[in-house]
């Protein structure tokens, strides 16, 4: 048995070389650790095969593994993926499930092949997405659910019949970029709340004010009391909301450039923004 994880990388102040958490946990359990820079490099399939393992369990490894690596264990490789495949194949399934307005997601275990999350499904466990749940919060819940499901998968492996994925239902969930968090105020308030949740904790949903970039970390959709162009500040229950293409958005927690995150009301007290001011894409 062995643990394969990413190399130590610079982190924290001073950029000191820091081991990945998986390496730390493996060391505490007394397991040998391998840290290849790239599993596509020559010699790694042979080195993994020499371990004599029956099965590999792959979790968020961060590299597309070649078929020779997947086939190195006698019974192949199993992946734990944070969506109900074939929906949301790719590096950011949790974030895109929220951004796209899904109300249910889950965990899938499947037999790996050379494609990106395309192998036959072993088990799935669905879970509802909370109406205010952020990507970071959902990731914590799915991590626990995934741990339980892989244990069940391994216990039942001999009795499970892998089933092919329905390619007609496949969607992609590529790695998020900072540009994915830029707010387009012409969209509906509900869609923008989902964007805010899906981009928390990274990259953050951003807009531009007269004072610079503003990151919105939490928000809620409301019915506006006034009609205005998307991105315009309008009155709402004694405070301000932002008009959108459909409905209005009330920021709940925001963060100005180089400042700490604060409540929207606190931000407004120092921002000198008033009804009629406009916000724009950052």
Mean pLDDT of 145-154: 98
Segments of the chain assigned to CATH 3.10.25.10: 178-271
Distance of alpha carbon 64 from its chain centroid, rounded? Answer: 17
What is the structure's pLDDT at 167?
A: 97
Burial 55-81 (b: 16+ CB within 10 A, else e): ebebeeeeeebeeebbbbbeebbbbbb
* The two three-digit tokens of residue 194, written as one number: 């989902």
Does residue 282 surpass a pLDDT of 90?
no
**Nearest partner of 58 among 7, 109, 127, 120, judged by Cα:** 109
Give residue-wise pLDDT tens across range 64-99: 899 999 999 999 999 999 999 999 999 999 999 999
* The two three-digit tokens of residue 202, written as one number: 């990274």
* The two three-digit tokens of residue 277, written as one number: 């001011």
Share of the chain above pLDDT 70, in %: 100
Does residue 224 surpass a pLDDT of 80?
yes
Mean pLDDT of 102-110: 98
10-24, 56-70, 89-103, 267-281, range with greatest mean pLDDT? 89-103
Its sign, for the CA torsion 219, 240, 204, 231, is positive
Segments of the chain assigned to CATH 3.40.50.170: 36-169
What is the structure's pLDDT at 92?
A: 97
Does residue 213 surpass a pLDDT of 80?
yes
Q: What is d(CA 254, CA 267) in angstroms, rounded to the nearest whole number?
A: 7
Does residue 13 surpass a pLDDT of 80?
no
CB of 22 closer than 8 Å to CB of 59 = no
Confidence band, pLDDT 50/70/90 cuts, at residue 266: very high
3-state secondary structure of 33: strand
What is the structure's pLDDT at 226?
A: 86
Model pTM score: 0.95
Q: What is d(CA 69, CA 36) in angstroms, rounded to the nearest whole number?
A: 12
CB of 51 closer than 8 Å to CB of 63 = no
How many Cα atoms within 13 Å fall on the side-chain side of residue 14? 3
Mean pLDDT of 233-245: 95
DSSP state of 8: P
3-state secondary structure of 36: coil
Q: What is d(CA 123, CA 217) in angstroms, rounded to the nearest whole number?
A: 34
Tell me which architecture the domain covering 178-271 has in CATH: Roll (3.10)
Q: What is d(CA 62, CA 50) in angstroms, rounded to the nearest whole number?
A: 23
> DSSP secondary structure string, 43-94?
THHHHHHTTT-S-EEE-S-SSPPPHHHHTSSTT-EEEEESSSTTTTBSS-HH
How many Cα atoms within 13 Å fall on the side-chain side of residue 82? 25
Mean pLDDT of 171-196: 98
What is the structure's pLDDT at 164?
A: 98
Q: What is the mean pLDDT of the chain?
A: 95
Q: What is d(CA 177, CA 137) in angstroms, rounded to the nearest whole number?
A: 20
Confidence band, pLDDT 50/70/90 cuts, at residue 150: very high
Yes or no: domain 36-169 corresponds to CATH 3.40.50.170:
yes
What is the structure's pLDDT at 63?
A: 84
**Nearest partner of 239 among 195, 273, 190, judged by Cα:** 273
What is the structure's pLDDT at 225?
A: 85
Share of the chain above pLDDT 90, in %: 91
Mean pLDDT of 112-140: 97
């Amino acid at each position: 048995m062995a643990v394969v994880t990413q190399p130590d990388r610079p982190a924290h102040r001073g950029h000191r070389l820091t081991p990945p958490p998986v390496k730390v946990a493996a060391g505490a359990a007394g397991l040998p650790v391998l840290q290849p820079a790239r599993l596509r490099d020559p010699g790694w399939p042979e080195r993994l095969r020499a371990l004599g393992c029956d099965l590999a369990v792959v979790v968020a490894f961060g590299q597309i593994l070649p078929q020779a690596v997947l086939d190195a264990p006698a019974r192949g490789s199993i992946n734990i993926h944070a969506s109900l495949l074939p929906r949301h194949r790719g590096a950011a399934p949790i974030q895109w499930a929220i951004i796209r307005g899904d109300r249910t997601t889950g965990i899938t275990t499947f037999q790996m092949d050379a494609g990106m999350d395309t192998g036959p499904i072993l088990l799935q466990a669905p879970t509802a997405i909370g109406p205010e749940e952020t990507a970071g919060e959902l990731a914590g819940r799915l991590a626990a659910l995934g741990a339980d499901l892989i244990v069940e998968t391994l216990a039942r492996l001999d009795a499970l019949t892998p089933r092919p994925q329905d390619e007609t239902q496949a969607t992609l969930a590529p790695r998020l970029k900072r540009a994915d968090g830029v707010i387009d105020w012409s969209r509906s308030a509900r869609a923008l709340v989902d964007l805010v949740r899906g981009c928390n904790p990274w990259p953050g949903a951003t807009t531009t004010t007269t004072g610079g970039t503003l990151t919105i970390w939490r928000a809620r959709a409301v019915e506006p009391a006034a009609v205005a162009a998307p991105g315009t500040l309008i009155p709402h229950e004694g405070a301000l909301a932002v008009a959108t293409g459909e409905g209005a958005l009330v920021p709940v927690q925001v963060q100005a450039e180089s400042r700490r995150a604060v409540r929207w009301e606190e931000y407004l007290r120092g921002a000198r923004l008033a009804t009629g001011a406009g916000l724009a894409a950052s």
